[in-house]
Structure 1
C-alpha cells in the first residue's frame, strides 16, 4: 500500500507544502516542532518527507540517535516505530528508494534539518536529523531540507542517547504525529 501511495505522490507532482509540524512526546520532550521545508534547495528530499508525512508514515517513529550538543535523528519508517525492536531503529527507510544528494551552501547551524544517509552521498531515504548546535563539518556532505522555525525548546528537551553513536536507552522520545502544513 505504501508503494502505491509513493507512486501516486510522484505522479501528482511535488506537494504544495511549506513545512511540517512534528508533535513530540516522551520522557524528555513534549510539544511541537515546526519546520520550514526548503523546496527550492532540495525538492526531491522535501517531496519524500511531505509524502511520508501525508501518509502517516512518520507517526510514532522514535528519535533513535540523539547526541548532546550535536543532533537528534529520527525518521526510520521501517524499523523505528514505537513498540518495535529498537535495536533495529536507524537501519531502515521507506519503500521509495534512495535519493540523489541535493547539496547546497546552507550551513548546518542550530535548528537546521538534514537528511541522514549511509556512506554513499546518494543514500538518503526517510531519516532526517535536527541540529542542536552548529556542525559545519557536515556542510556540503549532507542535504539540507529545512529549518526549525518554532519549537527549539522542544528540540532541546528530546531525551539524549549515550555513547559515541548516541543510541537512546529505554524508551526514546517519539514523533506522535507529523502533519504537512502550508
Structure 2
C-alpha cells in the first residue's frame, strides 16, 4: 500500500480484491473533497454498487440513495440519485482526467454533482474542464481495473467500505 502523506485527505476504499488508496486534492476542489469525506464518515458509501462500468473508460459509483445493496439497491434506478445533501457547484481546474483520477459525476447541469463519482480506467482528456477532478488513486488501481463491467453490471461489484484514512 502507498505511503499515506495526509491521512485527513486520503480515502481508503475496500473492494472485493483489496484496498484502493485515493489521495484527495482539497487545494483544487475543497467542496468535493469535504463531501466525499462527510459521506464516508457517515458510512453512506458502504455497500454501494458500481452501477456504470464502461471498459476502457471509467467505473462509476456513489449513488447512496439508490445503490446500497443492503438497503435500497434498485438496478433500474441506480445512478439516478445522490444524497440528502445539496448539490455542489463545479470546481473545474486545469488537472487532466488521467488514468486513476477521481471525477465528480453529474447530470447535464455542471453544478449538479452530489455523491456520485467515477475513477478513470485510462486518460480521458475529452472530459477536461467539464467534470471536477478531486482525487487520484495512489495505490490499488489493479483492484479498480478488476471491477465488473456493465451499465449496470448483471452482478455489480460494490464498495465494501469507504473510510477517511485519519479515522481508520
TM-score, normalized by the shorter chain, greater than 0.5 = yes
Q: 1:66 touches 1:168 (CA, 8 Å); kept in 2?
A: yes
Whole-Å Cα distance in 2 between the matches of residues 40 and 169 of structure 1? 34
Q: Say whether 1:22 aligns with 2:13.
A: yes
Aligned length: 158
Give CA-to-partner distance per residue, 1:45-80, whole Å, 9 cap, x none.
100000000010000000000000100000000001
Cα distance between partner residues in 2 of 1:19 and 1:82: 25
Task: Give the alignment's Cα RMSD to 1 decimal.
Answer: 1.0
Provide the rounded CA distance (Å) in 2 between the counterparts of 1:64 and 1:17.
27
Alpha-carbon distance in structure 1 between the residues aligned to 2:124 and 2:39: 26
TM-score (norm 1): 0.85
Q: TM-score under structure 2 normalisation?
A: 0.91
Matches within 5 A, 1:23-38: 23-25=14-16, 30-38=17-25
The alignment status of 1:159 with 2:148, answered yes or no, reads: yes
1:61 maps onto 2:48 in alignment: yes
Contact 2:18 2:140 in 1 (8 A): yes
Structure 1 residues not aligned, in runs of 5+: 1-15, 162-166
Do 1:159 and 1:168's aligned partners in 2 also have CA atoms closer than 8 Å? no
Partner of 1:50: 37
| Preserved contact between residue 61 and residue 175 of structure 1 (Cα < 8 Å) | yes
Which ranges of 4 or more aligned residues in structure 1 deviate by more than 6 Å?
none
Partner of 2:67: 80
Q: Could you tell me how far apart the structure 2 residues matched to 1:130 and 1:38 are?
A: 14
Deviation (angstroms), 1:169? 3.1
1:72-97 Cα deviation digits (max 9, x unpaired):
00000000111521111000001111
Of the structure 1 ranges 121-130 and 84-93, higher mean CA displacement relative to structure 2 is found in 84-93
